Amino acid sequence: MVRFSRISKRFVLQKSFTGKPLKYVHALNNVSFEAYRGQSTGIVGESGSGKSTLIRLFMGLYQPDSGFFSMDELISTYMQKADWNKLRRRAAMVFQDPWGSLNPRLRIQDILTEPLAIHGSALQIPKSEWANILYKTLDSVGLPQSCLTKYPHEFSGGQRQRIGIARALILKPSLILLDEPVSALDVSIQAQILNLLSDLRSEFNLTYLFIAHDLGVVRYLCDRIVVMYAGRVMEVSDSESLFENPRHPYTKTLLNAMPSIEKLGQIPEAEPEVEIVENQGGCPFVHRCSRVMEICHKTMPQASTLGTSTFYCHNPMPQI
Amino acid sequence: MRNFVRKVFKLYSNDKAAFSAIVIVLLFAFIAAAAPILASKLPWLVISNNSGIEMPTSPLLHAIIHPRKRIILERTDYRKLASEEKISAIFPPVPFSPYETNLDNFLDAPSFSRFGHPLGSDSLGRDVAARLMHGATNSMLVGLIAVGLAFIIGVLIGAMAGYFGGWTDLALSRFIEIVICFPTLILIMAVLALIKPSLVTIMVVIGLTGWTGIARVMRGEFLKRRGGDFVLAARLTGASHVRLILKHILPNSLAPLIVMAAFDIAGAVLLESSLSFLGIGVPAPEPSWGDILKNSQEYPDIAWWLVVFPGTCIFLVVVAFNFLGDWLRKALNPRERAAS
C-alpha cells in the first residue's frame, strides 16, 4: 500500500559565503521498505535517525533528494497538486505533542471541521452532514459531544490526544501516520490511547505507520517493524521475529536497552554517548557495533532477506 | 471567554497602577470626545433672555446641529450679556472657545472667578483650559490613527517576511532596517517641509515612520509560529496560505502587538507634541498640547501655567498608556495571569 523506495534526503548544515552548501547531514539515506494494507508498521530508532523526516516527507513538507514513495496508485515523482490533495484525504497524521498540535484560539468544533472545510467539497460532503460526522467521530474516540464548544486548554493531555486522533479520522482516511502519539503522555494514559488506537484500527480498517522509540509500545501495536539508525534502515522484520530473533546488532542493542521485569533493579549499562557520524561508504553503526568487522568500515551492506526479516549487516546475529 | 474576562478583571482590580492608568486613559478619552461640549463660548442653555437679541434656547446645540450658523452665533458675546445680567444661562464648565483671542487678557493667571480663565490664558488671550481640552482631541486622534496605520503596515510587512521567509524575508528585513536607520523626527520634519502640515498629514507621517517595531515583532511571531505543530497540522491537511495566516498564525500572534500598540500610542502622542513644540505640528489656530508649550517658551518666568498644565497632560497620558501596555502584557500572558 505504501512504499518507500531508495529515498534520500539531506539537509544543508552550513553554507559558504556565496551560498554554496558546505556541510550536509543525511537525514535519510537510501531508505526502502513497504507498509501493507491493514497492518501496522512501526518505525523505531533513536532521535536523529530520520523517522520524523520520513513521515514529513510523505506528507509533502519536504521533497526527497532522490528516490520516491508511493501510496496506492500515487507516485511521489509524478504527483501534481490535485494528487497531493488526494493523498491528504487518504492519509492523516497524529502529532506527538498534544499541547502544541491544537490551535489554542479555536474551539474543538472548529479544529475538527477544518479538514472538512478544506476537503469537504472535493469529497462531496454537504455542510449539513458535518455535525453528524463530528458526533460519530467524537463517539469513536470516546469524547462527549459537549466538548465541541470548548477550547483546547480545557482538556487534559490524554483528551487532547483523542482530539488529535479525531481530527485525523474526520475524512475517513485509510492510512494514519502516528508520530510518537503516546510518548508525551502519562503511562496510564498511554495504555488508554494505545487501546483506542487498536480499537480504531479494527473498526475503520486502518493502516498505521507508527513512529516510536519505545519498543514496548511498538510491540503492542505493530505487525511489522522497521529499525532505523542514522537515516538508514537497519532491519525490517515481523514484530514477533524481531523480538525473538533480532538479526542486526543494532536491533539487539535496542532490545537490551528495553526495561523489563527480569532486569528489575538493575540499570542497563549506559553506552557512552556517540555522535552519529557520517560514515562515507560504510555502515553508520560501526562506531558502536559489538560485531564490527573490517568490511563494515568500507561498504554499506546490501539487504539480506532471511525468513520474514530483511537486514543490512555484514555480520548479523545468528538465526535461532 | 467569560472566564478569561473575569480573570483579566481580577488581575486588573489588584493592580493599582493599571487601575489608575485605565481611569486616566478613560478620562482623557472622555475629555477628547466631549471637548466641543465641555469647552465653548456658547452656553448650553439660555434660561431667560432680556437682551433683545434673538437666540436659540441652546446656542451650543444649535451650532452643533447647524455648523454653518456657528460663526453668526459666536458673534454674540454671551458671557458679557450674562455678567450684565441681561440673560441667564448655563455655560459649559469652560466657557471659552479654543480659538477666541482677546489681547486684553494677555497671560492672565488662573482664576476661579466667574468667566475667569481657570487654567490661565496665553499670549493671545486664548483660554488654556479650552485649548488643552480641544488639544486632547487632536492628540488622541493622532495617537490612535497614526498607530492604527503603523499597525496595519507593520502587520502586513512583518507577517509576509515571517511567513514566506527566504528572499522575501531578506528583502523586507533589509527594508525595515533601512527605515529604522532614518532618525524619525528629522525624517518627519523633512516630509512636512515638502507637504503642508495638517492633522491628517501628521497622522499619516507618524504612521508611515512608526511601523518598524511592530513589523519586527510580527516577523518574529510568524517565524516562531510557522513551524509550530498546529500550523503544521493545518498545513498537512492542505490548508491554504490565507487560511494558515488568518486562522492559525495571526490570532496567536496578536497579544504582543496589542501591548506594543499601547506603548506606541504613548510614543505617537509624545511625537505629536514634539512636532507642535517645534512649530511643524498641527497648524496654527488648531490647539495642541505641544503648541501651548511652545507658547510658554517665550514667557517661562511669568506664565508658569503655560508650562505646567500641558506638560502634566502629556506626562499623564504617556505614563498611563505605558502602564496600560504593561498591564496588557501581563493580562494577555496566561502564565502571569495564572500566577496572580
Residues 6 or more apart whose CB falls under 8 angstroms from that of B195 comprise B201
What is residue A137's predicted lDDT score, i.e. its pLDDT? 93
Query: Does A61 reach chain B within 8 Å, measured CB to CB?
Result: yes
Q: Do A103 and B236 count as a contact with CB atoms less than 8 A apart?
A: no
The grid cell for A68 is 520516491
Q: Which of A223, A249, A250 is nearest to A237 (CA)?
A: A223
At residue A270 the predicted structure's pLDDT band, cuts being 50, 70 and 90, is low
Residue B277 clears pLDDT 50, i.e. is over it: yes
Q: Do A118 and B239 count as a contact with CB atoms less than 8 A apart?
A: yes
For residues A167-193, average pLDDT? 91
Residue B148 clears pLDDT 90, i.e. is over it: yes
- Report the alpha-carbon distance of residue A262 to residue A208 in Å, rounded: 31
At residue A215 the predicted structure's pLDDT band, cuts being 50, 70 and 90, is confident
The nearest CA of chain A is from the CA of B90 a distance in Å of: 53
Name the residue in chain B with its Cα closest to that of A171: B237
Q: Say what percent of chain B tops pLDDT 90.
A: 29
Residue B171 clears pLDDT 90, i.e. is over it: yes
What is residue A289's predicted lDDT score, i.e. its pLDDT? 85
Q: Do B237 and A119 count as a contact with CB atoms less than 8 A apart?
A: yes
Residue B333 clears pLDDT 80, i.e. is over it: no
Strand-pair partners of A311: A235, A304
Residues of A in contact with B248 (CB under 8 A): 103
User: Locate cell 458671557: which residue?
Assistant: B79
Domains of chain B, CATH where assigned: 41-91 (no CATH), 130-339 (1.10.3720.10)
Q: Do B233 and A97 count as a contact with CB atoms less than 8 A apart?
A: no
What is residue B339's predicted lDDT score, i.e. its pLDDT? 47
Residue A185 clears pLDDT 50, i.e. is over it: yes
Which of A151-160, B100-109, B282-291 is modeled with the greatest confidence?
A: A151-160
Q: Please write the tens of the pLDDT for every residue from A69-113.
A: 999 888 888 888 889 999 999 999 999 888 889 998 889 999 999
Q: Do A93 and B247 count as a contact with CB atoms less than 8 A apart?
A: no
Residues of B in contact with A97 (CB under 8 A): 229
Question: Higher-confidence residue: B238 or A16?
Answer: B238
Q: Do B234 and A93 count as a contact with CB atoms less than 8 A apart?
A: no
Residue B336 clears pLDDT 60, i.e. is over it: no
What is residue A144's predicted lDDT score, i.e. its pLDDT? 93
Residue B11 clears pLDDT 80, i.e. is over it: no
Residues of B in contact with A163 (CB under 8 A): none
For residues B184-199, average pLDDT? 86
For residues B224-239, average pLDDT? 89
Query: Does A90 reach chain B within 8 Å, measured CB to CB?
Result: no
At residue A219 the predicted structure's pLDDT band, cuts being 50, 70 and 90, is confident
The nearest CA of chain B is from the CA of A255 a distance in Å of: 31
Residue B9 clears pLDDT 80, i.e. is over it: no
Of B224, B231, B236, which to mutate for an interface test with A (greatest number of A Cβ within 10 Å)?
B236
For residues A252-267, average pLDDT? 75
The nearest CA of chain A is from the CA of B337 a distance in Å of: 14
Of B3, B229, B252, which to mutate for an interface test with A (greatest number of A Cβ within 10 Å)?
B229
What is the 3-class SS of chain B, one letter each residue?
CHHHHHHHHHHHHHCHHHHHHHHHHHHHHHHHHHHHHHECCCCCEEEEECCCCCCCCCHHHHHHHCHHHHHHHHHCCHHHHHHCCCEEEECCCECCCCCCCCHHHCCCCCCCCCCCCCCCECCCCCEHHHHHHHHHHHHHHHHHHHHHHHHHHHHHHHHHHHHHCHHHHHHHHHHHHHHHHCCHHHHHHHHHHHCCCCHHHHHHHHHHHCCHHHHHHHHHHHHHHHCCHHHHHHHHHCCCHHHHHHHHHHHHHHHHHHHHHHHHHHHHHHHHHHHHHCCCCCCCCCCCHHHHHHHHCCCCCCCCHHHHHHHHHHHHHHHHHHHHHHHHHHHCCHHHHHHC
At residue B45 the predicted structure's pLDDT band, cuts being 50, 70 and 90, is confident
Q: Could you tell me whether strands A224-229 and A304-306 are parallel, antiparallel, or unpaired per DSSP bridges?
A: unpaired
Q: Do B236 and A106 count as a contact with CB atoms less than 8 A apart?
A: no
Of A81, A96, A110, A114, which to mutate for an interface test with B (greatest number of B Cβ within 10 Å)?
A114
For residues A211-223, average pLDDT? 86
For residues A300-318, average pLDDT? 86
- Report the alpha-carbon distance of residue A114 to residue A264 in Å, rounded: 47
For residues A7-25, average pLDDT? 79
What secondary structure does DSSP assign to chain A, as a single string?
-EEEEEEEEEEEEEE-TTS-EEEEEEEEEEEEEEE-TT-EEEEE--TTSSHHHHHHHHTTSS--SEEEEEETTEEGGG--HHHHHHHHHHEEEE-S-TTTSS-TTS-HHHHHHHHHHHHTTTTT--HHHHHHHHHHHHHHHT--GGGGGS-GGGS-HHHHHHHHHHHHHTT--SEEEEESTTTTS-HHHHHHHHHHHHHHHHHHT-EEEEEES-HHHHHHH-SEEEEEETTEEEEEEEHHHHHHS--SHHHHHHHHTS--STTTT-PPPPPPP------SSS-TTTTT-TT--HHHHH-PPPPEEETTEEE--SSPPPP-
Q: Say what percent of chain B tops pLDDT 70.
A: 94
Residue B312 clears pLDDT 80, i.e. is over it: yes
Q: Please write the tens of the pLDDT for every residue from A59-68.
A: 888 888 899 9
Residues of B in contact with A62 (CB under 8 A): none
User: Locate cell 498608556: which residue?
Assistant: B321
Q: What separation in angstroms does the CA of A124 have from each of A32, A120, A250, A267, B162?
A: 35, 6, 48, 56, 35
- Report the alpha-carbon distance of residue B29 to residue B43 in Å, rounded: 23
Residues of A in contact with B230 (CB under 8 A): 100-104
Cβ–Cβ under 8 Å, residues A178 and A208: yes
Of B4, B167, B235, B237, which to mutate for an interface test with A (greatest number of A Cβ within 10 Å)?
B237
- Report the alpha-carbon distance of residue A183 to residue A180 in Å, rounded: 6
Q: Do A100 and B230 count as a contact with CB atoms less than 8 A apart?
A: yes
Q: Please write the tens of the pLDDT for every residue from B252-265.
A: 888 888 888 888 99
Question: Higher-confidence residue: B336 or A138?
Answer: A138
Q: What ipTM was estimated for this complex?
A: 0.84
How many cross-chain Cβ pairs, A to B, lie less than 8 Å apart? 53
What is residue A309's predicted lDDT score, i.e. its pLDDT? 87
Q: Which of A112, A114, A88 is nearest to A173 (CA)?
A: A88
Query: Does B242 reach chain A within 8 Å, measured CB to CB?
Result: no
At residue A275 the predicted structure's pLDDT band, cuts being 50, 70 and 90, is low
Give me chain A's average pLDDT, please.
Answer: 86
Query: Does A62 reach chain B within 8 Å, measured CB to CB?
Result: no
Q: Do A61 and B235 count as a contact with CB atoms less than 8 A apart?
A: yes
- Report the alpha-carbon distance of residue B104 to residue B185 in Å, rounded: 37
